[in-house]
Amino acid sequence: MRTPKRIQPLVDDGLVDEVIRPLTSGKEADVFVVLCGEEIRCAKVYKEASKRGFKHAAQYQEGRNVQNTRLARAMKKGSTFGRGQREEVWQNTEVDALRKLHRVGVRVPKPYGCYEGVLLMELISDMEGNVAPQLGSVAFTPERARTDHALMMRYMARMLCAGLVHGDLSEFNVLVDEEGPVIIDLPQVINASANNNAERFFARDVGNITAYYGQYAPELLPKRYAGEMWSLFEVGELQPETELTGVYRESTGFADVDALLDELEAIELEELERLERSGE
């Protein structure tokens, strides 16, 4: 096929030999299957901020630190240079997260680098060499649902121990190959300690994943893994291999009604956005 304009520099530099075909096109990026030497990989071409459909991006970016104070000031002012730097930070956030999670034992696509807004990474495929399906298109036996759900809870605990929350995790950004689930799409990844929205997004991530597997193993639905993990994380007791039970009892006290209403409204808006992405 004809090489997309954004990938052509990678071809010129010898990083990509051939663009084989488009893979997916989303609100955030277009993904292509590419040939790099003898390996089949994928190239994720990020869309410009003005063309992205990712809403409430500021909530995700809270707590992201830029060491260079000049760059931080430019980004805050919103100058042309600053907007360009903000885009670079957004794009590099995913490759940095992939590298970090790969090191701590979370199954994610192996990243090879981000070049001028194009992320080269591993193509997750099935035993026949086809692109692995999304979790949302896979049916499970109760036993397999329990096994894969436990694995996903383990991955999410490891992410949290590494200081990261996916922030947009659902059955639409998990792939499934013969070894189990693989987490994808991390440009919006959240700093678990520095972002005031982190706990809320973490609870939503865990809830989405549990709800999907719970269709096949209903006994998972009442479990409270999000509360269990977050409470351990807050007091520094969550470890990558902590034995999770799904049992958690919230502390009793007076509820902040206004905060609760704000939270419910935010959750409702996020659910509407999720349904819009899924076409439901």
pLDDT reading at 186 higher than 50: yes
Pairing status of strand 190-191 against strand 29-36: unpaired
From start to end of 144-217, where are the E strands?
164-165, 174-177, 180-183, 190-191
CA distances from 101 to 95, 109, 160, 248, 265 (A): 10, 10, 10, 26, 31
In order, the DSSP letters of 24-72 are EE-SSEEEEEEEETTEEEEEEEEPPGGG-----HHHHHTT---S-HHHH
What is the pTM for the complete model shown?
0.80
What is residue 242's three-state secondary structure? coil
> Considering Cα of 9, then 10, then 13, then 16, what sign does the dihedral take?
negative
Of all residues in the chain, the percent with pLDDT exceeding 70 is 75
Is residue 258 flagged as an active site residue? no
Pick the catalytic residue from 30, 185, 256, 262. Answer: 185
Pick the catalytic residue from 168, 205, 256, 258. Answer: 168
The per-residue pLDDT for range 144-159, each reduced to its tens digit, is 999 999 999 999 999 9
Q: Which amino acid is present at 5?
A: K
Domains, the chain, ranges and CATH?
Answer: 135-278 (1.10.510.10)
Is residue 168 flagged as an active site residue? yes
The per-residue pLDDT for range 224-274, each reduced to its tens digit, is 999 999 999 999 999 999 999 999 987 655 555 565 566 656 666 666 666
